[in-house]
Amino acid sequence: MSKPLEFTGERFTPECVREIWYEHLHRYAFARNLVGGLNVLDAACGEGYGSALLSTAAASVTGVDVSVQAIEHAKARYESDSVQFRVSDCLALPFEKNQFDCIVSFETLEHLEDHDGLMTEFKRVLKPDGFLLISSPDKAIYTDRLKNDNEFHVRELYRDEFESLLERYFPAFCLLGQKLVFQSAIWTLGEASGVTFQQEHEGQVASFSELHHDPVYLIAICARDDSSMPAVPRVLNLFDDSDESVYEHYNQEIRKHIAAGELLAAREKELAELKKKLERSPSGAGWWRRWFGSS
């Protein structure tokens, strides 16, 4: 296996851990459920991990990225009979029209200024009955509320701007949201249908049929018309790793804070006892006041 691609912050690499790993892998794991037997274009594939994951279900996957370094790495690490990689600008794709059944493009839009140019190219190379799966952060949450400042983002969109862009090129679309959440999960062991999300606020618990949070990322499945839309179950899709690394990291941090608190309490007790001893000595009391005041 080739060496990991250096993480610069511009594109994700699978050597990243915990939260960012969950966000990026989950999008491709979700997309994998929709591309079975299809010819797929992974536009702005980066390091290639997502194209490789899609290829385990798709008939074929072509990953393209503007970075020569990323594509060389992807070829060395992932290329096979079912997944190929090419250097290409997504605004000038080197493919004939109506070539792909599906285009996947995660976290690409915000890295470009020319959004209409990107959507025009996607529509050109997508088959008339194909569909596009595209994601982008919601500027209102990702930047305005959470104060993220990504130097590689050229032009972020608010939700209404994202929807307006989609409607101009793919009038039929289904919008999904994504964010990391910390939850207590109760579920039936076995086949079950329906989702109930319960949320507490100021002592009152309300129930909802969907996750009641503002998503950080918007994911759209879109097509030219409703008949070309894939079947997307209206369910909650959850993703993690078998080590539960985000939860384990949380527990580690809590344990560290508890240990630090216990150590601080012990030191404060020792300091209080030392103060008492010094105050019983005339010379010691004067020394204490000079260094710590009269308290």
Q: Which CATH number applies to 19-180+193-230: 3.20.20.210, 1.10.1660.10, 3.40.50.1100, 3.40.50.150?
A: 3.40.50.150
Q: Which of 221, 156, 210, 138 has the alpha carbon at shortest distance from 181? A: 210
Distance of CA 207 to the CA centre of its chain: 26
Q: What pLDDT is stored for residue 39 in this prediction?
A: 98
| b/e burial code for range 5-18 (CB count within 10 A of at least 16 → b) | beeeeebbbbeeee
CA distance 163 to 168: 9
Check pLDDT > 60 for residue 294.
Answer: no
Query: Which positions ≥6 away from 7 have C-beta within 8 Å?
Result: 13, 15, 16
Where exactly are the structural domains of the chain?
19-180+193-230, 248-292
The answer to whether the pTM exceeds 0.95 is no
Instruction: Supply 291's token pair.
Output: 């260094």
Amino acid found at 277:
K
Query: Which positions ≥6 away from 128 have C-beta within 8 Å?
Result: 98, 224, 228
Instruction: Supply 151's token pair.
Output: 């130097």
pLDDT, tens only, 222-277: 999 999 999 876 667 787 778 877 777 777 887 888 888 888 888 888 888 887 87
If pLDDT is split at 50, 70 and 90, which confidence band does 195 have? confident
What mean pLDDT, rounded, does the chain reach?
85
Structure-model confidence comparison of residues 29 and 290, the more confident one = 29
Give the mean model confidence (pLDDT) for residues 156-165: 95
If pLDDT is split at 50, 70 and 90, which confidence band does 96 have? very high
Q: What pLDDT is stored for residue 246 in this prediction?
A: 74
pLDDT, tens only, 108-146: 999 999 999 999 999 999 999 999 999 999 999 999 998
Check pLDDT > 90 for residue 51.
Answer: yes
Q: Please, which residues bridge with residue 41 across strands?
A: 62, 103
| b/e burial code for range 221-248 (CB count within 10 A of at least 16 → b) | bbbbeeebbbeeeeeeeeeeeeeeebee
